[in-house]
């Protein structure tokens, strides 16, 4: 693996290899003192052109736990504001000897383009509405920890599917792993022809979560919407929000996931977000493990 640009490019075997490595990282690094030297001498640069809490921090922590040198650039603090192109930024980073560049960008395909201008491995940390592969990998790790297998696992993805790179990466991966995926959103937040990806499509949140093993809530991405795509947040929450009544329609041992950041009272209620079936905190922890695994595998 030279780059990690998307889940679309990975096979089921690739995904399992990353999850296996992430589990080892969890036991041997995160739960046992947070120190390893497998990235000693390596230089990891995180290049975030969009805001982030979880992804950026977990890549930086993963780099540091594994002994790498880590540095970060944000768009506002870089020469992008002076007109520097992504290609020139890539070449500049290259000249400094980076081994891995982790990039988040509002434009779909930006990581793919950057990979043409650097000798470093490129990791997609979220590109526009396209993919967020390490988010999907941490989601898979969290599901596998709970259920052991993906065969026939019933995963219901509810929320702003149209603007969601998390949804796309999860759908690509879950279909390869053997899960049954249902997506649920208002018509205005559902991509055209999404059923071509092999998912069940519904606008009825109750039927979407019925008998589900996993309820994956998606954030309403107001920053990617050019005009109001639903009448009101209150109405959205009533029709599509995940509350305790809807969680009760899923299997008794179902888990509730959310990539974060969470809008309590919009895509899910506060008592569900903080309730016993929520694994949102575990997803964050697994994010560090998956990112350690990816950095390790890309540099060896």
Binding mask 93-132 toward ligand CP (x if CB under 6 A, else -) reads ---------------------------------x------
Select the residue interacting with ligand CP from 21, 54, 176, 251 (CB under 6 A). 54
Subset of 144-173 contacting ligand CP (CB under 6 A): none
3-state secondary structure of 69: strand
Q: How far is the CB of 78 from ligand CP (least distance, A)?
A: 18
Select the residue interacting with ligand CP from 260, 263, 277, 297 (CB under 6 A). 260
Between 207 and 285, CB nearer to ligand CP: 285
Strands 200-202 and 214-217: unpaired
The reply to whether 259 sits near ligand CP by the rule CB under 6 A is: yes
Between 137 and 180, CB nearer to ligand CP: 137
Select the residue interacting with ligand CP from 31, 53, 85, 244 (CB under 6 A). 53
Select the residue interacting with ligand CP from 17, 23, 36, 52 (CB under 6 A). 52
Between 117 and 167, CB nearer to ligand CP: 167
Between 114 and 290, CB nearer to ligand CP: 290
Q: How far is the CB of 196 from ligand CP (least distance, A)?
A: 26
The reply to whether 55 sits near ligand CP by the rule CB under 6 A is: yes
Tokens of 84: 């520097």
Range in contact with ligand CP (rule: CB under 6 A) among 14-22, 32-40, 228-236, 253-261: 253-261
Between 106 and 210, CB nearer to ligand CP: 106
In the complex, the residues that contact ligand CP under the rule CB under 6 A are 52-55, 126, 135, 259-261
């Amino acid at each position: 693996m030279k780059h990690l640009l998307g889940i679309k490019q990975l096979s089921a075997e690739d995904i399992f290899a990353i999850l296996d490595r992430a589990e080892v990282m969890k036991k041997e690094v995160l739960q046992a003192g947070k120190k390893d030297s497998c990235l000693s001498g390596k230089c990891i640069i995180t290049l975030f052109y969009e805001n982030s809490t979880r992804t950026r921090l977990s890549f930086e922590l993963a780099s540091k736990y594994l002994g790498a040198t880590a540095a970060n650039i944000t768009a506002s603090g870089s020469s992008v504001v002076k007109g520097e192109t992504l290609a020139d930024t890539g070449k500049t980073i290259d000249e400094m000897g980076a081994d891995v560049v982790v990039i988040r960008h509002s434009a779909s395909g930006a990581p793919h383009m950057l990979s043409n201008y650097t000798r470093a491995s490129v990791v997609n940390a979220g590109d526009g509405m396209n993919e967020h592969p390490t988010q999907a990998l941490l989601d898979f790790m969290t599901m596998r920890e709970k259920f052991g297998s993906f065969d026939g696992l019933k995963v219901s993805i509810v929320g702003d599917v149209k603007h969601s790179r998390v949804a796309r990466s999860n759908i690509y991966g879950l279909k390869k792993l053997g899960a049954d995926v249902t997506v649920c959103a208002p018509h205005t937040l559902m991509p055209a022809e999404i059923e071509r990806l092999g998912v069940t499509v519904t606008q009825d949140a109750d039927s979407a979560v019925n008998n589900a093993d996993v309820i994956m809530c998606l954030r309403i991405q107001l920053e990617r919407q050019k005009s109001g795509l639903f009448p009101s947040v209150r109405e959205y929450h009533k029709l599509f929000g995940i509350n305790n009544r809807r969680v009760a329609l899923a299997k008794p041992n179902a888990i509730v996931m959310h990539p974060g950041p969470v809008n309590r009272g919009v895509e899910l209620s506060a008592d569900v977000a903080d309730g016993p079936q929520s694994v949102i905190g575990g997803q964050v922890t697994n994010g560090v493990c998956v990112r350690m695994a990816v950095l390790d595998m890309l540099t060896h």
